[in-house]
Every structure is written in C-alpha cells, then in structure tokens.
C-alpha cells in the first residue's frame, strides 16, 4: 500500500497543528460555534446525538495492520471500546471528546492516517473496489489512481468550500463493486483499442434526497489528463452549482439542469485551458505511486480445489462459509476472505478494540499485513493462502467474524441511524437486528441467495437504500418512526434506483414485511433467478399485493 | 481606520469601498474607490475620467468574464465572500491570475476569516480585508500553517509530483 514520504508526512503533521489551534480557539471563544462548524466538519467531526462522532479517513479502504492496531487503541483510549466501518470505507468513532480530537489526530499521524475532508462541503475520501489488485476480473488496478486523486484533492485550495460534499469512486474491474454510477464523479479505468489507459467519466450520480444514476460525459480520457479534467469539472461545479438550497446543491442537480451534454461542453471549454499544463500526469509519478501497489511476494502455489472440497464434505459449516465469505483470487493457491461484521445482535459494521487487534494479527499472519474495508461494511483479508483457509476459518469463528452471510439478506448495509446520528428520522440498527433474527435459518438464507438489503435512517441515504435490492428508509410521521420500503435498486454495473413499494410501515411490522417480500420472490422465481432478476421480470405489483393484502 | 493584510503585512486601508447600490452622485474625484460591478458597467466612461484610483468589486454570483477584457482599468479587484463557506471566488481569483493575467491587487472582502486565508493566498489573492470583528494580526499566522502543498495553483505553478526530490 502507499507509504508516505517526508512531504505527505509533513502535510499531515501540519494539519494536526492547524486543527489543534482551531480547537483551542474554539474552546477559548475566539471562534464561534458557527465559524468552527465547517472547520471541524472538514476534519470529520460531527456533533451527534450524544457526543461528537469522528470519522477517520481510510483512503480507498486500505489499512495496514499497524493502522488497524491504531483503530483499536483509539477505540480503547478515547472511545467506548468500539468503532464502526462506514459505507464509504472509513472508520467512525462515536464517543470521542471534542477536546481529545487533536490528540487523536496526532496519534493517527504516527501511522500515516488522518481525518482530512471526511465530512464537509469538499472532496471526500475516494473509494474503490474492496478486491482491487486481487480480483480475477480486474483490468486495471484502481488504487494508484485513487492515491493520485487523494493527493490532488487534499487541501485543494480552490475547492475547499464547494456547494456541497463531493464523492469520487474508481473502478477497474469488469464488475463494478465500487458503485461508481452513484457518485458525483465515477471513473472507470479502461483501455482503448491501442491498448492505452484512460478513464470513462461519469458525473452527477448520487443518492440522498434526489437519487440519480450518473451520466457518462467522456468515454475515454487519457490518463495523463486525469487531474486537469477533474480540475475542470470541479471548477464548473464550484462556480455554477446551486448554493441557495442545500438540497439542490449536489453536482447531480447542476448536471440535470444543464443536461449532461451541456455540462460536458462546459467542462470541455474549461479543460482546453488546463489540458497539457503542469498538472498533466507524468509516467514517473504514476510509476512512483504504482510501485506501492505491486503484488506482495506471492508464493508459487496451486489451487487447492480437491483439498478444500474434501474439507467441505467433512465440515458443512466450513463449506457454507467458504461459499459465501471467500472470493476468487487472481493468483493460483490464494483466496480473498471477507470477515463478516454482520452477526445477529451486533450493529452492522461495528468492531470492538479487541476485534481490531485480532484483525491486525490475522492480517500479519495470513495476508501480508493488510486489510480492506468494504462499502458493505465488512473487512477483507485479500491475500490468504488456500492451504491456510481452514485454520483461518477456525480463528475467525473464535473472533466472531465467520458468520457465513456475505451477500445474503442478513449482510445488511446500515447507517448508524437514530441511535447515534442527529440527522436521522428513525432508528436503523434495531430494524437490521429484527430482520436478522427473523431470518435465522441459514438453509433458508442460502436458498434465498444474493440480496442487498440496505437501511438508511433518513433521506440522506448513508445506508444507500436507493440501490438496495430491498431498501428501507426511516421516515418521521408526526413524531413516530416509520419505514418506507423500496425494491429493485442496484449499485452494480447495471445500476438502478429502487421503486417505492407503497405506504410506510411501523417498526414492529418490518420483519413481517421483509418476510412477505422474500416469499413472493421464492414463489415466483425461476431456477437460478436472483431476487433482482425476478423483480425486474415481474415488477413491483405482486410484492405490493402481498404486503398490503394483510392490511385489508 | 481599518487595516488590511497586503502581501503578508498589515497596512492601513487607503481605498474606499462603495456599496452595491452606489450611484455616481457625489462621488469624490480624487479618492481611491472600489466600485460595485454594476456601477462600472453603467458608468465606465465617467469612472475612468476621475483622477483617483479605481477598483471594482464583484459579488459572489458575478462573473469575472463580464470584465475580462477591461482589467487594465483597475488597480484593485475585490471579490466578495457573502459567507466564508461560499467558495465561488476562489475560482475567480485563480482565473484572474492564470487565465486573464491580472497583475493588480486581488482583494478578499466580506466574510473573510483566518482559516480560509491560506487557500485564498494560494489561488491568487494578495490582499485581505478581514471581517471587522477579527484580529488581522492573529490572521497573519494562517500563512505559515502549511509548509508543503500537493496541487499546482497561482502560488505554486508546479504540483508536488513535479517537485518531489
């Protein structure tokens, strides 16, 4: 992974000093609450329902074991012993004291981490495929490009006070596991017919109140021009994005208002001035960054299909886990393993300090000392030897990471919701738990197969409910918490937005509602048809009829 | 008298900023004036005929393209930040310096606070009229907060990747 040089380290250390002084001035009354607010937000510090919440940046989800141990230390020393993996691959601490944050940042800086631009109206953490660099279907490793974008976007002087937050995602594989089409900018690394590398550029995707799938405005941007083109897009947005209404301030509204074609023309008109200037990327820089992402020293191994099949036969639990929680690796004899952070009874994505320490040890012993956070709120050991898989499974079970539910209905994406977040209209964690308890039969879960169930506690959509095959949105009805259900969303390459089923439901009914929806699928599916396929074939009506029939 | 930051130092303000609804009536001939864009557009000939210094100021929604071919008339171009969270004029300052080659003073006015100054300096502002309740001496510290930057901008034509040792 990327390792800071003296320049990167200096910038992060200068930032710690700057934020320490900003905090001091706030506490001394030199900065008003209103003046301090954007400053703390650009450092990922929210004032939440009970305490501040600090979001630590995990660039494109990648962490070293030393960094994971630092998460454990911060959870222990400054928080209540746990933290939360966010839907944008970051790590959130729910209970730090505002006064302690400068010290936390100083600790983070010792392991090349920070909280820069993890909130606020600026360019946020760039996200990517959790299987980057190891996926069999990868064409181009997105990580060097994410790091180049990270450096460009860090304290960009022209784009620190945008109309609204700005999120960039990069994909380099055949499948899109980074959900690029629902980002402000989505970049797909591609090769042209001449074998040259470039990017397909999508703009104006996003969730929130006005969910929109992005529009591709450039089919092939040669890699040399990535930064100048991003500068051009951001300049058009910074100047012309709406600032009169925060709900209409995302770039998607500007793109829609202008039309993608006109927006693209504006970007090109800006870009002609910037193209081939000093921000043009050099082969030397790309090589410098890419050198941090070369393959680790893989052994020459063979795939262990027969041995693993024998273990499967002997240990059905292992077979089930292997089926759901492992992912094919590009190197023979290796496999990527997802640690499920979704056991029933634990808030989705929560990790304790002891678990962080355990993950760091596992990473050191099984996976070259690195892990990845996924936007599905799980943690991945990307480079595990197949021959060690059975032993690893045993260790994961001891630590509570072996729930065999990755990609299944109970692998729920869920925002912190009303239990923690002051924006939320409703709780989300108890809904997740109720559904997990209802679907406690593993055979049934396996039979149902892949379902993305996403829960957001409000229309800000941190739980990505619009792109869940089943989406749940917490709403407030006259002071009561209700839940709106939608179906048919997808964050993948065939990105689509979910359709609202109908009137919302009370908390107590939610497990029943999901149960009925799943039953319609099970009854109506053809062989090998996934939930999403069935929904796309039969439409929303059969689900509607079943779910609302009971009310009459 | 207000003091402003100019080229990293505190100096006494010598310019008079006219409000957005100012008219030509009673405008002094010899004072140094920063006039609103609308007044300039309406009365450029009369304003050019004065003996005093001339500057123009743009509100956040006003576009520099409107006067891009007239910049020689102004010793000062002031850009108003109605709120420090409104970053539109960071792009304007960049364009003034890099696209339109403006060499005169580019001044930040309005809700101008210490914690924005470093980025303002980077994009091309060289003068800062801090919000009146703030201490400009304290704000000078902002310029020393970072010793290295990643991006190319007005202050640093080369991105860090072209300068890394």
Interface test with A, best of B161, B163, B164, B165 (most A CBs within 10 A): B161
Query: Shortest Cα distance from A215 to chain B (angstroms)?
Result: 24
What's the whole-number mean pLDDT along residues A387-396?
A: 98
Mean pLDDT of chain A: 95
CA atoms of A346 and A348, how far apart (whole Å): 6
Q: Which of A38, A158, A285 lies nearest to residue B94, judging by beta carbons?
A: A158
User: Is residue B36 pLDDT above 60, yes or no?
Assistant: yes
Q: Which of A428, A357, A362 is nearest to A392 (CA)?
A: A362
Q: With pLDDT > 70 as the criterion, what percentage of chain B qualifies?
A: 99
Q: Are residues A112 and A164 in the same domain?
A: no
Q: Do B146 and A14 touch (CB under 8 A)?
A: yes
pLDDT tens digit sequence for A73-100: 999 999 999 999 999 999 999 889 999 9
In chain A, whose CA is at the least distance from the CA of B164?
A7
User: Is residue A393 pLDDT above 60, yes or no?
Assistant: yes
Q: Are residues A281 and A146 in the same domain?
A: yes
Q: Which residues of A touch B115 (CB under 8 A)?
A: 22, 35, 39
Interface check A297 vs B, CB under 8 A: no
Residue A389 belongs to a domain with what CATH number?
A: 3.90.480.20
- Per-residue confidence (pLDDT) for residue B1, from 0 to 100: 64
Query: Shortest Cα distance from B34 to chain A (angstroms)?
Result: 23
Q: Do A152 and B86 touch (CB under 8 A)?
A: no
pLDDT tens digit sequence for A31-74: 999 999 999 999 999 987 667 899 999 999 999 999 999 999 99
CA A188 to mean position of chain CA atoms: 16
**In chain B, which residues touch A (CB < 8 A)?**
60, 63, 84-88, 90-92, 94, 99, 113, 115-116, 118-120, 122-123, 138, 145-153, 157-162, 164
Let me know if residue A128 belongs to a domain: no
> Where does the pLDDT of residue A551 fall: very low under 50, low under 70, confident under 90, or very high at 90 and above?
low
Query: Shortest Cα distance from B28 to chain A (angstroms)?
Result: 35
Q: Do A288 and B164 touch (CB under 8 A)?
A: yes
Query: Shortest Cα distance from B95 to chain A (angstroms)?
Result: 10
Q: With pLDDT > 90 as the criterion, what percentage of chain B qualifies?
A: 95
Rounded to two decimals, the pTM is: 0.95
In chain B, whose CA is at the least distance from the CA of A234?
B91
pLDDT tens digit sequence for A400-423: 999 999 999 999 999 989 888 888
Interface check A451 vs B, CB under 8 A: no
Q: What is the DSSP letter of A396?
A: H
> Where does the pLDDT of residue A550 fall: very low under 50, low under 70, confident under 90, or very high at 90 and above?
low
Interface test with A, best of B65, B86, B91, B106 (most A CBs within 10 A): B91
Q: Do B84 and A161 touch (CB under 8 A)?
A: yes
Q: Are residues A397 and A417 in the same domain?
A: no
CA atoms of A180 and A172, how far apart (whole Å): 10
Q: Do A157 and B88 touch (CB under 8 A)?
A: no
- Per-residue confidence (pLDDT) for residue A51, from 0 to 100: 76
Q: Give the E-state strand segments of chain B in sequence order.
A: 3-6, 9-12, 16-17, 33-36, 54-58, 76-81, 105-110, 127-128
A416 close to A474: Cβ distance less than 8 angstroms: no
Instruction: Specify the residue for token string 């300052």.
Output: B93
What's the whole-number mean pLDDT along residues B25-51?
A: 95
Interface check A227 vs B, CB under 8 A: yes
- Per-residue confidence (pLDDT) for residue B26, from 0 to 100: 85
Q: Are residues A253 and A164 in the same domain?
A: yes
CA atoms of A516 and B143, how far apart (whole Å): 62
**A142: domain range?**
135-290
Let me know if residue A296 belongs to a domain: no
Q: Do A157 and B85 touch (CB under 8 A)?
A: no
Q: Which residues of B touch A22 (CB under 8 A)?
A: 115
Q: Which of A401, A387, A395, A287 is nearest to A339 (CA)?
A: A401
Let me know if residue A130 belongs to a domain: no
Q: Are residues A438 and A471 in the same domain?
A: yes
Q: Which residues of A touch B86 (CB under 8 A)?
A: 161, 243
Interface check A24 vs B, CB under 8 A: no
Task: Indicate the number of domains in chain A.
Answer: 3
Residue A141 belongs to a domain with what CATH number?
A: 3.30.413.10
In chain A, whose CA is at the least distance from the CA of B138?
A30
Query: Shortest Cα distance from B27 to chain A (angstroms)?
Result: 32
Q: Which residues of A touch B130 (CB under 8 A)?
A: none
What's the whole-number mean pLDDT along residues A437-455?
A: 95
Interface check A355 vs B, CB under 8 A: no
> Where does the pLDDT of residue B5 fall: very low under 50, low under 70, confident under 90, or very high at 90 and above?
very high
Interface check A276 vs B, CB under 8 A: no
Let me know if residue A311 belongs to a domain: no
CATH number for region B3-162? 3.20.20
Percent of residues in chain B assigned helix, strand, coil, to nearest 5: 30, 20, 50
Q: Which of A314, A366, A320, A368 is nearest to A340 (CA)?
A: A320
- Per-residue confidence (pLDDT) for residue A492, from 0 to 100: 83
CA atoms of A85 and A107, how far apart (whole Å): 19
Interface check A279 vs B, CB under 8 A: yes
State the sign of the Cα–Cα–Cα–Cα dihedral A207, A209, A214, A217: negative
A340 close to A320: Cβ distance less than 8 angstroms: no
Q: Which of B90, B46, B151 is nearest to A281 (CA)?
A: B151
Q: Are residues A474 and A359 in the same domain?
A: no
Q: What is the DSSP letter of A138?
A: B
User: Which of A383, A403, A423 corresponds to the end of one domain?
Assistant: A403
Interface check A18 vs B, CB under 8 A: yes
Q: Do B118 and A157 touch (CB under 8 A)?
A: yes
Let me know if residue A68 belongs to a domain: yes
pLDDT tens digit sequence for B86-145: 999 999 999 999 999 999 999 999 999 999 999 999 999 999 999 999 999 999 999 999
Q: Do B87 and A160 touch (CB under 8 A)?
A: yes
Q: Are residues A182 and A254 in the same domain?
A: yes
Q: Are residues A188 and A268 in the same domain?
A: yes
């Amino acid at each position: 992974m990327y390792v800071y040089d003296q320049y990167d380290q200096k910038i992060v250390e200068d930032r710690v000093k700057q934020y320490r002084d900003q905090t001091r001035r706030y506490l001394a009354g030199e900065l008003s609450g209103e003046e301090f607010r954007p400053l703390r937000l650009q450092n990922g510090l929210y004032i939440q329902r009970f305490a501040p919440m600090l979001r630590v940046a995990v660039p494109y989800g990648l962490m070293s074991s030393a960094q994971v141990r630092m998460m454990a230390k911060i959870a222990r020393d400054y928080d209540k012993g746990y933290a939360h993996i966010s839907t944008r691959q970051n790590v959130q601490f729910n209970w730090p004291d505002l006064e302690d944050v400068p010290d936390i940042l100083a600790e983070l800086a010792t392991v090349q981490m920070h909280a820069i631009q993890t909130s606020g109206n600026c360019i946020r953490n760039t996200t990517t495929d959790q299987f980057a660099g190891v996926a069999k279907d990868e064409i181009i490793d997105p990580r060097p490009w994410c790091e180049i974008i990270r450096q460009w976007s860090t304290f960009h002087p022209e784009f620190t006070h945008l109309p609204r937050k700005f999120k960039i995602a990069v994909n380099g594989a055949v499948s899109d596991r980074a959900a690029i089409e629902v980002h402000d900018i989505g970049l797909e690394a591609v090769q042209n017919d001449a074998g040259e590398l470039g990017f397909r550029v999508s703009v104006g995707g996003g969730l929130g109140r006005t969910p929109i799938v992005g529009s591709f405005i450039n089919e092939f941007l040669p890699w040399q021009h990535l930064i100048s083109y991003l500068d051009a897009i951001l300049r058009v947005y910074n100047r012309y994005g709406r600032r009169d209404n925060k709900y209409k301030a995302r770039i998607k509204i500007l793109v829609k208002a202008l039309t993608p074609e006109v927006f693209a023309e504006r970007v090109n008109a800006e870009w002609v001035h910037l193209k081939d200037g000093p921000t043009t990327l050099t082969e030397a820089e790309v090589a410098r960054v890419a050198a941090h992402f070369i393959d680790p020293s893989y052994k020459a191994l063979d795939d262990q299909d027969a041995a693993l099949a024998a273990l499967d036969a002997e240990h059905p639990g292992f077979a089930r886990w292997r089926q759901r929680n492992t992912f094919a690796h590009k190197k023979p004899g290796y496999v990527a393993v997802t640690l499920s952070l979704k056991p029933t009874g634990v808030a989705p994505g929560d990790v304790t300090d002891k678990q962080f320490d355990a993950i760091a040890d596992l990473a050191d012993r099984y996976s070259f000392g690195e892990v990845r956070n996924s936007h599905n709120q799980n943690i991945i050991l990307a480079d595990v030897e197949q021959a060690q898989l059975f032993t690893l499974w045993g260790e994961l079970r001891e630590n509570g990471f072996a729930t065999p539910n990755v990609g299944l209905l109970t692998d729920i994406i869920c925002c912190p919701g009303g239990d923690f977040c002051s924006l939320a209209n409703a709780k989300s964690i108890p809904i997740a738990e109720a559904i997990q308890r209802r679907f406690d039969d593993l055979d049934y879960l396996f039979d149902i197969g892949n379902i993305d169930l996403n829960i957001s506690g409000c229309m800000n959509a941190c739980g990505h409910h619009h792109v869940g095959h089943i989406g749940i949105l917490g709403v407030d009805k006259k002071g009561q918490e209700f839940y709106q259900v939608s179906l048919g969303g997808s964050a993948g390459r065939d990105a689509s937005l979910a359709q609202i089923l109908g009137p919302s439901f009370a908390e107590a009914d939610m497990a029943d509602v999901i149960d009925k929806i799943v039953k319609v699928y099970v009854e109506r599916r053809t062989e090998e048809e996934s939930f999403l396929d069935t929904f796309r074939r039969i439409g929303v009506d059969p689900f509607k009829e079943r779910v609302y029939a009971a009310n009459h | 008298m207000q003091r402003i930051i100019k080229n990293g130092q505190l100096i006494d303000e010598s310019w008079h900023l006219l409000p957005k609804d100012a008219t030509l009536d009673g405008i002094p001939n010899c004072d140094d004036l920063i006039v609103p864009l609308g007044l300039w557009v309406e009365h450029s000939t009369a304003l050019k005929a004065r003996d005093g210094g001339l500057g123009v100021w743009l509100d956040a929604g006003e576009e520099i393209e409107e006067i891009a071919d007239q910049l020689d008339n102004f010793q000062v171009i002031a850009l108003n930040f109605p709120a420090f969270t409104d970053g539109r004029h960071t792009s304007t300052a960049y364009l003034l310096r890099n696209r339109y080659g403006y060499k005169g003073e580019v001044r930040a006015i309005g809700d101008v606070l210490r914690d924005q100054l470093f980025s303002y300096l980077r994009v091309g502002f060289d003068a800062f009229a801090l919000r009146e309740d703030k201490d400009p001496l304290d704000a000078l510290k902002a310029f020393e907060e970072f010793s290295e930057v990643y991006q190319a901008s007005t202050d640093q034509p080369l991105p860090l990747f072209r300068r890394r040792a």
